[in-house]
Structure 1
Amino acid sequence: MKNVSVRKIQEALVAKGFIPGEVDGIWGRRTIAAVKSFQQSVGLEVDGVIGPKTSAALFPSAAEMPSQPLLPWIAEAENLIGTKENLGSRDNPVILNWADSLDIHYPNDDVPWCGLFVAHCVGSTMSDEILPANPLGARQWERFGDPIDPRWGAILVFWRESRASGKGHVGFYVGEDDSAYRVLGGNQGNKVCLTWVGKDRFLKARWPRTAASLGGGSATVLVDRKEDLSNDEA
């Protein structure tokens, strides 16, 4: 995950004497640890999240702050756009490594991996966040974190085939129009991409509990839809 806002945060941490590892724009464990150490040093809640209070303490002036709060899980998701499962018996090792890093049994990328993608993006960037017991199951994300109205970065859960089927799809909210949500997710046409999912399939929106300080702000991002609704999520 290489991100301009992450790099600015890393540079500010170094200036304060907290070393996040290499200043590379990647939101990794050393950067999270440096943020927590800084928060502890200034008497803030130690959550590893750059919320408004941490941002104000970290940057000398408002002009130096990132233009918007950093949602590290979205930055990671955006970095992975274009990742595809391999056709046939050759699995994509990138996707398999997501499961290995989270100690999840995942046999091959023929198994639906939208839940695995969300688990990787959240788990690799929010080290204290508790993931669902079975993150591979899209509908398991209905119980993740805290409820929230659909908004930028929220985790959206949808039913698939039918509401009663138990099957589902999960991804991240990046926009909407009157009838559909714009979703950044995995296993959408066998890859990580942006697609539109009808609001009539929407079940719940959830938010990482350890990022509660980032849960405010604008509730909707309106987007002019030019594509058809998705019908290929598995």
Structure 2
Amino acid sequence: MPVALAERGVRRFPTGETNPRIAEYNNHTNLIGYDDKVSWCSSFINWCLANAGVRGTGSALARSWLEWGKAIETPVYGCVAVLTRDDPNSWKGHVGFYVRHDAEFIYLFGGNQLDEVRELAYPLTSVLGYRWPESF
């Protein structure tokens, strides 16, 4: 989490410009060479884990995290939370680091949350799973 939290406020640049930091996040996935206009939540998680010495999925797909590490039933601070986006049966999703939850919302810290690295609330019903590195 310290690596992720240090990135707070990194945000997508306006059309015609690219934030080089987000391009760097993408370089840790199959989005090598892409700008900041693509979905980069998974790129951010991969970058953070790589900088903490933990191997990620290497994929830009948020749902790729459902196959990473080990599943945990009860979320713990800093675990990877995978959410559905739009249709629970589609390939689309979102991924971030778990911060906390209440009766209605899960609060994640991650990238591409309102176009920046920040904490944001999502419906608790959108959770697909929680993951933790195998080596921990």
TM-score after normalising by structure 1: 0.55
Q: Which runs of 4+ in 1 moved over 2 A?
A: none
Higher relative contact order (CA 8 A, sep 6+): 2
Instruction: Choose between structure 1 and 2: higher strand proportion.
Output: 2
Distance 2:29 2:119 in 1: 27
Identity percentage of aligned residues: 29
Larger Rg: 1
Determine if contact 2:46/2:55 at 8 Å carries over to the other structure: no
Letter aligned with residue 76 of structure 2: R
1:90 maps to which of 1, 17, 33: 17
| 2:34 partner SS | coil
Match runs of 1:1-234 below 5 Å = 74-100=1-27, 102=28, 104=30, 105-126=32-53, 129-134=54-59, 136-148=60-72, 149-210=74-135, 212=136
Distance 1:103 1:78 in 2: 20
Unmatched 5+ stretches in structure 2: none
| 2:113 partner SS | coil
Unmatched 5+ stretches in structure 1: 1-73, 213-234
Distance 2:29 2:83 in 1: 25
TM-score after normalising by structure 2: 0.92
RMSD, matched Cα: 1.4
Task: Please report how far the alpha carbon of residue 179 of structure 1 lies from its aligned counterpart in structure 2 after TM superposition.
Answer: 1.4
How many residues align? The count is: 134
Query: Residues 16-72 of structure 1, C-alpha deviation per residue, up to 9 Å, x if partnerless?
Result: xxxxxxxxxxxxxxxxxxxxxxxxxxxxxxxxxxxxxxxxxxxxxxxxxxxxxxxxx
Determine if contact 2:26/2:34 at 8 Å carries over to the other structure: no
Distance 2:62 2:26 in 1: 15
Letter aligned with residue 34 of structure 2: P
Instruction: Choose between structure 1 and 2: higher helix proportion.
Output: 1
